[in-house]
A = this chain, B = another copy of it.
């Protein structure tokens, strides 16, 4: 459990969400159970469930349905990670070996599908057609984003395409967490635009900071090699800002042309990006989004959860994973 303060109003509920997720792996083949337990417990900051629980709590939604929703969201997130790791051929996630590193592609595909199916079942248990519709819509957005990226290659240096990509990859799920929680609340329609804005802005900020930390983080902290995105030819906001002021950097040109390049060049380009103002600009962009998120909260009920959502937006920009 993270110790950051915004979890305080929902820490008991987060434990219920985790129990709900773990219950899913019971009664299955021991190898599958082991893999599911590993995937569901090794994992993550539980930020998406916290966002759903805090939003719903602020708006007075039923706690039981919120726990179901939060579990469904974290499972949908986990399922997309499992297929992602297969697609990227990643062998590590959060410093742990991926399923992909240990299992055949067939087992990985099916385990991802299994978690999708369970996420869909949990979503159906919220008993809301609108929540189901939002789930299906979000899954479409995420998969569409990955497909676009796969076909387009990874070398676009256009901010607009980057923002579209991280919306599909990350912010769409934060939006789902806030809007679905609002749908389950008695306030409903009046507040949905405000919480959508909050979800969008925190999700975008979250991914930008993740991409910054890929450059600035310690390998031990991040659980993967520094500049792992660049190593894979993945262009993120720091690289885009660097490109805008250094369009002729010969190392960057090689990356953009998808040409394999060696550790010496990678280290040189990473140092050049870190030495420029690109990181500062990217953090400022995330800060601007966090402010937008906090603005969106202003007309919402002034509860402990609202306060926690404000802290969460702050934390996202100032965290070091």
Contact = CB atoms under 8 A, between A and B. Distances in A.
Contacts of A151: 29, 31-32
Interface stretch (A52-60, A107-115, A217-225): A107-115
A257 B21 CA distance: 37
A117 B146 contact: no
B110 A150 contact: yes
A105 B105 contact: yes
B114 A87 contact: no
A152 to B, nearest CB: 8
Interface in A73-125: 83, 86-87, 105-107, 109-114, 116-118, 120-121, 123-125
A143 interface: yes
A87 to B, nearest CB: 4
A87 B110 contact: yes
Contact of A133 (B112, B121, B135): B121
A29 B146 CA distance: 12
A86 B87 CA distance: 13
Contact of A140 (B87, B121, B135): B121
A193 interface: no
Interface string A120-155: 110111011100110111011011101110110000
A125 to B, nearest CB: 8
Nearest to A29: B151
A143 B113 contact: yes
Nearest to A118: B140
Contacts of A113: 83, 116, 139, 143, 146
Contacts of A112: 109
A113 B142 CA distance: 10
A147 B86 CA distance: 17
Nearest to A135: B120
B117 A139 contact: yes
Nearest to A116: B116
Nearest to A144: B114
Given A29-B147, A127-B129, A151-B31, A136 B120 contact: yes
29 contacts: A28-B144, A29-B147, A29-B151, A83-B109, A83-B110, A86-B109, A87-B110, A105-B105, A106-B150, A107-B150, A109-B109, A110-B150, A111-B147, A113-B146, A114-B143, A114-B144, A116-B116, A116-B139, A117-B142, A117-B144, A120-B120, A120-B132, A120-B135, A121-B140, A124-B129, A124-B132, A124-B135, A125-B133, A129-B132
Given A86-B105, A109-B109, A111-B147, 8 more contacts: A83-B109, A107-B150, A116-B139, A120-B135, A124-B132, A124-B133, A125-B133, A127-B129
Interface of A: 28-29, 31-32, 83, 86-87, 105-107, 109-114, 116-118, 120-121, 123-125, 127-129, 132-133, 135-137, 139-140, 142-144, 146-148, 150-151
**Pairs A-B, 3 closest by C-beta atoms:** A120-B136, A117-B139, A124-B133
